[in-house]
Amino acid sequence: MDSNRNGDGMGDVSPIPGVNSHPQIHPTPYLTPNFSVSDWGFDTVSIGFFPKELDALEALSNPTSGLGQTCGREGEKIVTDLDGDPVQVTVKASGNWTMSLGFATILGYPSFGSICVEGRASAILARSSEDLTLVRPDRIADVEGAALRLVWSALGRTAFSVCKPTRFRRWDLTVDLRNEGVASEGRRTLEALAAVRLPYWCGSTVHKANRRDDLVAGASWPADGRKQFRAYDKGVELSKPKHRQKDADGEVAVHPEACAAGSWLRLERQMRPTNGENRLTAEELTASDLRGAWLGRWATSLKAPSLSVCSTSAALLRLSEQLSEPNSNRSKIKRLVAETAAAAECLAPELYGSHQDLAHVLREQGIVLAAHLPAWQSVELQPLLQQAADVWQSTDQGQEKTLASELCASDPESG
């Protein structure tokens, strides 16, 4: 029989150009998101003060005594701030009170002799809620000064000193990424981030609305949220009703910086020490290892071969490719192939439960399984995380080990 002919008597047929000869398999090239860093720095901060002077402490117990005021709803008073603008004060039965300025919130705790300012660092500096920029570490002392002026205003417009060092009770280390590719790749990137579950993390969550355009991924350790990493679509968040603003004609309109889903992602590490000894002064904060603090457990992912979030089919393909690599542990990879294929039959959107051990071993190979990705889809996250982490390098070069770096090192989540 002619070796150039097949069993039915026909000659060998060349594939038709442009036609997949295996229609059941549609490999998709690995997706490496194309983002650039548009801004980075501190976002939300919370700063605590302990007034020393008697007049300031008396004003702390009665925040409306030295300010012009009118009555609002029950439990509320409207007072004028340092600029003569009206602000709302709510006093609780415990004596604690809240003063809402729009761009920041002042919280008084008379029984503890403390007062706290919370808000976006840039908004506190600009005294405007419309400022959405991030504040570089070298300006964090300016934020502290601006917050102190707000406290002076709230406590009768009288300057005072503090009996304890001013400390930051919360600081959010934030990196904004703008999508240089198509919007769908940005949405897929956020889905991939939500699929990663690192050791000692609580379960990641994805909130879906408007046909999956509104995606928020987050994970924290421990459960009280003392340290939390969040990835969310900032452009979509600004399109929500709570962020609407009045235009030049006085009409309520969508925020001018709102943009299409997948165009603007925000990666954010929230630090909220519950132990007062781990709260930092401005000097300690700027001198600390902010890169390590931002990365946390993600640091282990930068040491791995990659961080590819894969569908089951893509994971099997990646594992098969590793079999041909020199010095590969062929028996281990073959077992992973078999177990991954078996797990595919009951794979949840995130790999939990009885598949925990499998997830750990796959992560050592740089693979994270995600059932919700399309068949053969793989999203490589390592370059994205590396790019975002590198903006913080200048803050820890040449620095000695500080309280903040020790705080990170003492927690399993920090990696």
CB proximity list for 162: less than 8 A, separation 6 or greater: 49, 50, 51, 52
pLDDT in tens, 208-265: 444 444 555 555 545 455 677 888 889 888 888 777 777 777 777 888 888 888 899 9
Amino acid at 284: E
Helix (H, G, I), strand (E, B) or coil at 20: coil
Domain boundaries, the chain: 51-163, 308-383
For residues 86 and 78, the answer to whether their CB atoms sit within 8 Å is yes
Residue 290's nearest CA partner among 407, 119, 143 is: 407
pLDDT in tens, 143-183: 999 999 888 888 877 778 888 999 999 999 999 999 988 88
Phi, psi (deg, nearest 5) at residue 386 = -60, -45
In which residue ranges of the chain is pLDDT below 50?
Answer: 1-28, 66-72, 74-75, 80, 207-213, 221, 223, 349-354, 394-415
> What sign does the CA torsion over 43, 46, 52, 54 have?
positive
The pTM of this model reads 0.78
pLDDT in tens, 172-189: 999 999 998 888 888 888
For residues 375 and 270, the answer to whether their CB atoms sit within 8 Å is no
Residue 6 forms beta bridges with which residues?
none
Pairing of strands 245-246, 264-271: unpaired
Phi, psi (deg, nearest 5) at residue 135 = -105, 125
For residues 376 and 344, the answer to whether their CB atoms sit within 8 Å is no
Confidence (pLDDT) at 166 = 93
